[in-house]
């Protein structure tokens, strides 16, 4: 089983973002970065499949500046076998550009599975995986919360609004991971040491023309300061009154 996992380095969301002077990018000073959660679940899924099969290879890929090597090392320390860094000055916003560069690298890799996260929290496109699948003409199942592979075929569960789909597909295939699929392991000390010696290949990304452009970034309107209606059950009548007369939702 040969599995590729595309992973992204994303900012920690627990900060107050500042728009940079150009008005179309964010100021990265003081922002911490880490492996996207959805991608950690994808790496975990790949490692579990390899462990179950007893053999195979897990390759992690990331497109971006040199800093993404740190993210690749993290995946290697979780247990991935080797890493590919596709160099770019910065991580493009454009999913189509990222997908095209990843697809070019993945095309002749002979992978049985190519895994992605469902979404990256910074650009919030949720598009890269299925675009790669189209570019490579591979079967694709998005946002999976369960996965079984046997005899060259897979079964996955997808969460919909108030329902789930049970989906079957042949290998090779592209999958994107949703929360609930697994719990990602933490790198062990041994894993961190081993990762230092694992192969990490770095080469320029094949970046095409952008298809979309960020024209402007702005902060969303602040919610008007709310009010504390009161304390305990005694505040309920006043809340009901406000919901009826002010918010008009009751």
Partner 1 sequence: MANIFAFAEARNGELRKVALETVTAARKLADATGGQVHALLVGAPGIASKAEQLAQHGADVVMVCEHAGFTQYNPEATSAVAADRIKSGGFRAALFSTSAQGRDLAPRVAGKLRVGLVTDVTSVELSGDTFTAKHPINIGKVVSTISIAGTPAIVSIRPNTYAPVAKAKPGTVENVAPVGDPSAARVVVKELVTGSGGKLDLADAPVVIAGGRGLKAKENYKLVEDLADAFGNAACGATRAITDDGWRPHSDQIGQTGRLVSPDLYVAVGISGAVQHLAGMKTSKTIVAINKDREAPIFKVADYGIVGDAFEVMPVLTAAVKEARKGH
Ligand X SMILES: Nc1ncnc2c1ncn2[C@@H]1O[C@H](COP(=O)(O)O)[C@@H](O)[C@H]1O
Q: Which residue is nearest to ligand X (CB)?
A: 117
Query: Is residue 60 within 8 Å of 84, Cβ to Cβ?
Result: yes
Q: Is 44 in the site for ligand X (CB under 6 A)?
A: no
What does 168 bind: ligand X, partner 1, none (CB cut-off 5 to 8 Å by kind)?
partner 1
What does 37 bind: partner 1, ligand X, none (CB cut-off 5 to 8 Å by kind)?
partner 1
What does 62 bind: ligand X, partner 1, none (CB cut-off 5 to 8 Å by kind)?
ligand X
What does 8 bind: partner 1, ligand X, none (CB cut-off 5 to 8 Å by kind)?
ligand X
From CA 217, how far away is CA 215, in angstroms rounded?
A: 7
Q: Which residue has the tokens 């046997």?
A: 150
Return the H-helix or E-strand segment holding 41: helix 37-53
Structural tokens at position 150: 């046997």
What does 232 bind: partner 1, ligand X, none (CB cut-off 5 to 8 Å by kind)?
partner 1
Going by C-beta distance under 8 Å and a sequence separation of 6 or more, which residues neighbour residue 128? 6, 95, 98, 99, 102, 116, 120
- What residues form DSSP beta bridges with 146? 157
User: 91 or 138, CB closer to ligand X?
Assistant: 91
What DSSP string runs through 127-158? -HHHHHHHHHT--EEEEEEEEEEETTEEEEEE
Stretch that binds ligand X, among 46-54, 57-65, 142-150, 232-240 (CB under 6 A): 57-65
Q: Is 142 in the site for ligand X (CB under 6 A)?
A: no
Q: Is 46 in the site for ligand X (CB under 6 A)?
A: no
Going by C-beta distance under 8 Å and a sequence separation of 6 or more, which residues neighbour residue 186? 78
Q: Collapse the DSSP code of 81 into the 3-class scheme (helix H, G, I; strand E, B; otherwise coil) and give the result.
A: coil
User: 14 or 89, CB closer to partner 1?
Assistant: 14
From CA 40, how far away is CA 206, in angstroms rounded?
A: 25
Q: Is 120 in the site for ligand X (CB under 6 A)?
A: yes
Q: Is 123 in the site for ligand X (CB under 6 A)?
A: yes
Residues contributing to the site for ligand X (CB under 6 A): 6-8, 36, 38-39, 61-64, 91, 95, 98, 116-117, 119-120, 123, 125-129
């Amino acid at each position: 089983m040969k599995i590729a996992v595309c992973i992204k380095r994303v900012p920690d969301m627990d900060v107050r973002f500042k728009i940079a002077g150009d008005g179309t990018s964010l100021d990265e000073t003081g922002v911490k970065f880490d492996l996207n959660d959805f991608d950690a679940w994808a790496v975990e899924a790949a490692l579990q499949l390899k462990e179950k099969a007893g053999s195979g290879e897990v390759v992690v890929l990331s497109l971006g500046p040199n800093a993404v090597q740190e993210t690749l090392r993290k995946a290697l320390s979780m247990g991935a076998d080797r890493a590919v860094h596709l160099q770019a000055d910065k991580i493009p916003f454009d999913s189509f550009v990222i997908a095209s560069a990843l697809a070019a690298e993945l095309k002749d890799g002979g992978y049985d599975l190519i895994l992605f996260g469902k979404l990256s929290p910074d650009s919030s496109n949720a598009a890269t995986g299925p675009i790669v699948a189209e570019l490579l003409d591979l079967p694709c199942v998005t946002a999976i919360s369960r996965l079984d592979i046997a005899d060259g075929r897979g079964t996955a569960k997808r969460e919909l609004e108030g329902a789930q789909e049970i989906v079957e597909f042949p290998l090779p295939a592209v999958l994107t991971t949703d929360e609930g699929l697994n719990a990602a392991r933490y790198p062990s000390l041994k894993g961190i040491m081993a990762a230092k010696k694992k192969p990490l290949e770095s080469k320029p990304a094949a970046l095409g023309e952008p298809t979309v452009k960020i024209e402007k970034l702005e902060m969303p309107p602040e919610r008007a300061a709310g009010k504390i209606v009161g304390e305990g059950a005694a505040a309920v009548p006043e809340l009901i009154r406000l919901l009826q007369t002010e918010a008009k939702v009751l």
